[in-house]
Amino acid sequence: MYTEQELGRDSPWESRFDHIYTKTEGITFHMKNRFFAGLLLAGILAAPIAAQMPESYLDVDIAKVKMGKRSEFDSINKRMVEINRKNKGDNWLAYQVMYGEPNTIYFVSTRAGYGAAEQGMKAFEGALTKAVGAAGMHKLLADWDATVESERAELRRRRWDLSASAPADAAAYNQLVGQSRYLRTAIVHTRPGKALDYEAQLRLNKSAQERVNFGVASLVSQGLAGQQAGVFYITTLVKSLGDLDNIKPLQEVLGSSYASYQKAVAESVANTEIIIARFLPELSNPPEEVVAVDAKFWRPAPPPPPKPAEAKK
């Protein structure tokens, strides 16, 4: 896997989330971009793969939660999960940054295209409206807004042609996502006009990664909107943080060609950010194919009600 120095120079740690606003009858409605018919989760997640897989996109919302508002934020999102699950709304996976900017939550949905992103927003809004009415939906979204400090939406294109050891089909992909608990993502910002140069390096590294880190999926996506041009996301999904110890660094993967890689990266990459995050099943509404891999994790039972206080004697 890549280290900060191997991917680029500076390496701040970062993340966040967003809403989409549309004007309807003079009223501004918040419509969440939601992720996942598979995930990730970004660079990560859902559907068949590589040559067999049609082009797909990651619809990513990043939220920076206000200090002291996390409990309220979680409560609102749990309600949205329940409403979308019961009313056939949108699907998404949520994950929280552990190493990176604190109180940052990602929500990611897989889309077949721009039109599918619009349909996902409509499904999300429709589920809320069906459950609580139009006024209730506006109130719920306004309450959500009050818990966040900042938000951002991104659209990323899956780059199966650059991904190493990508799952062979949809079933293998769902298995990978369903069994994962953590993810590590390198966010690589290329220099102006150098995106194709860095892409060429990823293409050269792919076969070496597949040979040395055999069976370790390294999933690549590329920013299309909501982010600066020329940004790549390289994501690895793991069952435990300890699994990251078993992934060989790029210097070992490339061997004698590592020096030339470093030179090419120095010329093509402006900076790199690396985050490590954990999935939040209680804030996720994944597709049933992912839930089926480990229903106890992805559909956690609600905590038992508190025991009534014993009467004083």
Q: For the domain made up of 4-295, give the CATH fold.
A: Alpha-Beta Plaits (3.30.70)
Q: Is 129 left (phi over 0), alpha (psi -120 to 50) or beta?
A: alpha
Check residue 301 and give its pLDDT: 83
For the chain, counts of helices (H) and of strands (E): 9, 10
Q: Kindly state the percentage of the chain with pLDDT values over 90.
A: 74
Check residue 226 and give its pLDDT: 94
Check residue 311 and give its pLDDT: 62
Check residue 142 and give its pLDDT: 97
Q: Which pTM was predicted?
A: 0.81
Please work out, in degrees rounded to the nearest 5, the angle formed at the alpha carbon of residue 106 by the alpha carbons of 101 and 111: 150
Q: How confident is the model at residue 10 (pLDDT cuts 50, 70, 90)?
A: very low
Secondary structure E strands in the chain: 20-24, 27-31, 57-65, 93-99, 104-111, 148-158, 182-190, 219-225, 231-238, 269-279
Extents of the domains making up the chain: 4-295
Q: What is the pLDDT of residues 34-50, one digit of tens each?
A: 434 334 444 444 333 44
Give the separation between CA 146 and CA 65, rounded to whole angstroms: 9
Per the structure block, which two tokens stand in for 210?
């597949």
Q: What is the pLDDT of residues 188-231, one digit of tens each?
A: 999 999 999 999 999 999 999 999 999 999 999 999 999 988 99
Per the structure block, which two tokens stand in for 236?
């690895």
Check residue 53 and give its pLDDT: 56
Check residue 312 and give its pLDDT: 62
Strands 27-31 and 20-24: antiparallel
Radius of gyration for the chain, computed over Cα atoms and rounded to the nearest angstrom? 20
Q: Reply yes or no on whether the pLDDT at 149 is more than 80.
A: yes
Residue 67: Cβ-neighbour burial (10 angstroms; 0-12, 13-18, 19+):
exposed
Q: What average pLDDT does the structure give for the chain?
A: 85
